[in-house]
A and B are shown apart, each in its own frame.
Chain A
Amino acid sequence: MDVVSGDRLLELAHRLVEVSPAAETEVIAGASCDRFARFAASGPTQSADRVLPRVQVRVRVERGGGLAEAQAVCDSLDPAGAQAALDRALAFAAHGSVSKELVPLGGATDVPACVGDASVLDQGFGAMSEWVERALSKCEEADLLPAGLAQTTYDARALVNSSGRSVDGSVSRVAFALTASDPGGGGAGFGDAIGRNAQELNVDRVLERAVTKGANNREPVGIEPGRYTVVLEPNAVSSLLLFASYQGLGAQDVAEEASFLCGRRGEQAFAESVSLFDDAGNDVYPGYSFDWEGTPKQRVELVREGVLGDPVTDRLWAAKQGVPNTGHAYPQPNTYGPKPGNLVLAAGDQSMEELVGGVERGLLVTQLHYTNMIDPRDLLLTGMTRNGTFLIEDGEITKPVKNLRFTESLVNAMASVSGVGKEREVAGALFDGEIICPALRIENFRFTSSTDF
């Protein structure tokens, strides 16, 4: 589809940079082709075919002995719309305040190629319709209520600036998820898969996981809150670790003393079995190879065998702190600083059976829900279990239990890891982002209350 053509995006961005009268100009031209089919027990509930272009223009204009910066955005690749965005950015900056912190835009650079799978563009609704039908039928056979989403997205981006930087790339994403719920108000089961194309998705596995868990979770029993050994499946792990990407692993978070890294860098704060890095170039689910300033993303070891490392940086924070730019900028200007966007938790050597088998009395947790942060210094989090929480006794899963609320710090949890799964998955969470991670076994995980189901 022409709208996601890298050449077209680059041409538009170059043209805008060339005509800009600003002292410095950066243009990011991008577009997504997104299709989705959402479903519930009544069948498909929503379906959409959307073309979503976006041009972001950042300018810096001379004003009273310094530079003032502003950004404007439009959702059109139309040259006139893009020019209007440039004009708005110029007008905004012309009346803005001078910033003494600005670092010059980065010059020419090479970035590793990143190209999405173009088959996603041609997929249409055929495969998604089939997945939805299979999910509905399988749930009907098992007397469970389905709810889920099938989605295909192809996203392309080009960044050009007035210092000679010109980079472009694309990514693709195909996802399918199913929640299978007991019609009598009991529990539910969940399964999902995320990949670069439809061929990578194991839809059978998603259906089997969700339906099996849902069928085994019809009559959960209440259990007292308290400290339990937990085996967190990858989706539950993602809910915890993604919070570290929102808050704590960026240089600004540390500088503002709102990070669990404060006072712990270089220390063995996590279990030795925990190694966490940010790696957009991973071969499981690669992301863009450059950040929102066009800087190549570096692979950053954030935690090495339990020892906490340094946070990620962007151009501003690298310059402020005299450290290398790791290429983790978000769209500029912003008030929140650099963040890791492609977290990967290293795999261990235990199968799921071995992780569960090592628990005398504990809980298997499929998913966590509405996780949120109470305090940034220890990354104190709270949230609920969801879609399949099971009691483990003497190494065996024995019965489903009603959902519980946890209140636990990520630092404590990661220090208490006693087992790491050998199989990794791409997993997301309620708020945003995705991470590649295995299951974890964690000792003394604190649950503080329970709910009715």
Chain B
Amino acid sequence: MSMNRMELAKDAVGAAEAAGAEYADARLVRLNEEELSVKNGAPGDAQAPEEWGVGVRIRKGGCFGFGARPLVAGSEAEAGREAAAAAVECAGALESAMREPTGWADVARDEATEYETPVEIDPFGVSVSDRLELLQAANASMEGHDSVVVRQAHCSLRREEQWQASSEGAALHQVLVRTGAGMDVTAAANGQVQKRSYPSSWGNYKSGGWEHVVAMEMPAHGERIRDEAVALCDAEPCPSGERTVVIGASQLALQIHESVGHPNELDRVHGHEVDLAGSSFATPEKLGGFRYGSELVNLVADSTIAGGLDTRGWDDECVPSGRWHVVKDGVFSGYHTSREWAHTIGEEGSRGTARAQGWWNPPIIRITNLSLQPGTWDFDSLIADCEDGSIFMDFVKMWSIDQRRLNFQFTCEVAWEIQGGKLGRMFRNPTYQGRTPDFWGSCDAICGPQHWDLWGVSNCGKGNPMQTAEMSHGAAPARFRGLTLVGAE
């Protein structure tokens, strides 16, 4: 009699234990995805990938090994056992080079063993033709100017189902649904090529269903971003020097990701990512005392928040989701951790942020949903409160940060000068540069919940070989004093 999927996961764990593993977990992962795009009125991309396989991670002599095999109907159990054997062989071959065994935190079990993303409108239930109709309407809304060279609209649906078992008795099943869309227009004139996007540079993606795409009302925004792209080709370059800058929410999401999220990954802090991504300035002796930002700055990690791209039941080490402060009232207060690393900061349990891309990668610490908590300002009032010559900028165009996450330089799609308490002339290629704690320390105003939203990052790269992961960052527009603007051109 064939085994069900949870039994297959348990069978792979058993095979690993029989081969000598001191600990083992197995994850069966099935990913279904559908991507559609329309470019300049024609279908540009229609893809339906599917992934289905098993990854087995084991620990032996304090050394990790990982094996991964695709799952084929009729031979799933053999694939699981082969992956288990490969994982044990990896660890066995490398065990002698271990200098110090990895740590391993216990997991406090709850009774839940099932999790499923709440969905209002099943995205896979929306017909391909209905999805294309929406994208065509969004694409058409950006027509109408000779300078426009590219109009794109896209949407993506993902359904990831996991069966996870461990040698500690875990048997967890979760279904994660993620949906999103976006659009952008590129204009070329006067030797310039400039892009504007909606709702942000990569669109926006959330956990949940098609309701997120409906709420975007994409066709209603095409004409505006088209005109802004065209106007950017005539705009002056953004001036350089120190200015008061109001940064929009989608750009702040990137700022959170790069200057708070990545340096907060505890494996990175301990040098395990130095071979590619780098290390971190946020070292453990700073925990609890280091001033990361002004007193207004509260950054909360939350893998339970509604709509977050990394909202789930458990991470890939069977650890339940949670919520905690990374920065509280401006003070560095917590890390993203895994079972391997929690003990190094005196914590008994992992925060549950070890994740892998698909079935074919071992888990590493990943940023979860990490958000700047809203303040109290109304956006128009904040702009009105800025002195003449201040700048408002938004929408990610370029990002770069050093390997310890201190020196960053980011460029936005568009900026406006603030004059007389209102947005005035437009500038192109606005670029700001800074040092992480100085930047967050200069924050003196944050807009309220009415301006706050979650912004999805669906392709965060980390690891070596590189893996991608998804997470969201919530933010509202915020003001920063004395920010350095760089004349990028």
Contact = CB atoms under 8 A, between A and B. Distances in A.
B274 to A, nearest CB: 4
A145 interface: yes
A325 interface: no
A374 B46 contact: no
Nearest to B274: A147
Interface stretch (A74-82, A283-291, A390-398): A74-82
B400 A68 contact: no
A40 B99 CA distance: 10
Contacts of A405: 400, 402, 407, 409, 433
Contacts of A403: 402, 407
Contact of A53 (B70, B398, B411): B70
B463 to A, nearest CB: 8
B407 A384 contact: yes
Nearest to A140: B99
A370 B37 CA distance: 28
A47 B45 contact: no
Interface stretch (A123-131, A201-209, A350-358): A123-131
Interface string B363-407: 010000000000000000000000000000000011111111011
Contacts of A97: 38, 42-43, 132, 136
Contacts of A44: 63-64, 94-95, 97-98
B34 A334 contact: no
B489 A380 contact: yes
A43 B97 contact: yes
A140 B149 CA distance: 56
Contacts of B272: 40, 45, 147
A251 B460 CA distance: 28
A22 interface: no
B42 A101 contact: yes
Contacts of A372: 398-400
Nearest to A409: B489
Contact of A374 (B136, B431, B461): B431
A92 interface: yes
Contact of A132 (B46, B66, B94, B402): B94
Interface in A296-349: 333-335
B52 A370 contact: no
A110 interface: no
Contact of A75 (B52, B278, B402): B52
Interface stretch (B184-192, B199-207, B307-315): B184-192
Interface residues on A, range: 35 or more
Interface string A403-432: 101010000000000000000000000110
B90 A48 contact: yes
A430 to B, nearest CB: 7
Contacts of A128: 93-94
A256 B45 contact: no
Contacts of A69: 43, 46
Contacts, number: 288
Contacts of B90: 35, 37, 47-49, 125
Interface on chain A toward B: helix, strand, loop, or mixed SS? strand
Given A72-B49, A95-B132, A179-B275, A453 B404 contact: yes
Contacts of A48: 65-68, 87, 90, 361-362
Contact of A47 (B49, B66, B73, B281): B66
Given A48-B68, A97-B43, A92 B52 contact: no
Contacts of B431: 374
Nearest to B91: A47
Interface string A98-111: 01110000000000
A124 B93 contact: yes
Among the interface residues A124, A263, A333, which one has the most CB atoms of the partner chain B within 10 A? Answer: A333
Interface string B251-287: 0000000000000000000111111111101000000
Contacts of A148: 275
B162 to A, nearest CB: 15
Contact of B42 (A37, A50, A75, A99): A99
Contacts of A448: 409, 433, 486
Among the interface residues B102, B360, B364, which one has the most CB atoms of the partner chain A within 10 A? Answer: B360
Interface string B400-425: 11111011010100000000000000
B431 to A, nearest CB: 7
A144 to B, nearest CB: 11
Interface in A50-105: 50-53, 68-78, 80-81, 84-85, 88-89, 91-93, 95-97, 99-101
Contacts of B100: 42-43
A1 B48 CA distance: 28
B193 A376 contact: yes
A133 B97 contact: yes
Contacts of B411: 374
Contact of B94 (A37, A149, A263, A335): A37
A49 B47 contact: no
Interface in B308-361: 360-361
Given A93-B46, A97-B43, A405-B402, 17 more contacts: A40-B271, A40-B274, A42-B98, A43-B99, A44-B94, A48-B362, A52-B360, A53-B70, A73-B48, A74-B50, A76-B52, A76-B71, A129-B97, A370-B400, A386-B402, A451-B406, A451-B407
Interface of B: 34, 36-39, 42-53, 63-73, 86-87, 89-91, 93-100, 102, 127-129, 132, 136, 149-150, 152, 186, 188, 191-193, 270-279, 281, 360-362, 364, 397-404, 406-407, 409, 411, 429, 431, 433, 435, 461, 464-465, 484, 486, 488-489
28 contacts: A45-B64, A47-B65, A47-B66, A48-B67, A48-B87, A49-B90, A52-B360, A69-B43, A70-B46, A71-B48, A72-B48, A74-B50, A76-B53, A78-B70, A92-B47, A125-B94, A145-B274, A181-B274, A181-B279, A256-B193, A257-B149, A370-B400, A382-B400, A384-B401, A386-B402, A407-B409, A449-B409, A453-B404
